[in-house]
Chains A and B, each alone.
Chain A
């Protein structure tokens, strides 16, 4: 069975600092990987996705993520965090053939200090 681990429950960074959110997955084949963000009072918004090809993927709002098969990781990065990035971030894996049926990690809550 597939699983996703987000080891950091809560991360605090200062505005303008760089950010890396960790995600490790367990899946027997090449996974479809996603990062979603949930801002307060909002739904889940897709930041970026990986299906195949270039292992460094660019997303919205200046985010990027790198797929590392050898480490079973798909970490999310942003070079300079803005106060509006404060939200909860979810990594998810979709199984081949049903990319939309997702297994989520437990989420990482990001706090941004002024």
Chain B
């Protein structure tokens, strides 16, 4: 399958925990990666290989995956976390890159 699905929007208050899901058949065999994208800026990789955090990304960003669903969790959400978040994977053959439609995180 060449599709992964995300909710269009998630809203949380500062200090709360935000969870953004990504679902698709490919995720049962392939890793999910997550990007934070703010308007006018380059996307930033915040989680790769389901759970790994690149150097420089705060520990409050974490990832998990089970079956066909991957989840990005942001603990202690801050105003600066407001952005669009995209999950990305590849197809089961490992050659076709897939992006989810993006989730707009709003910090109330």
A binds B: no
**Interface of A toward B, CB cutoff 8 Å:** none
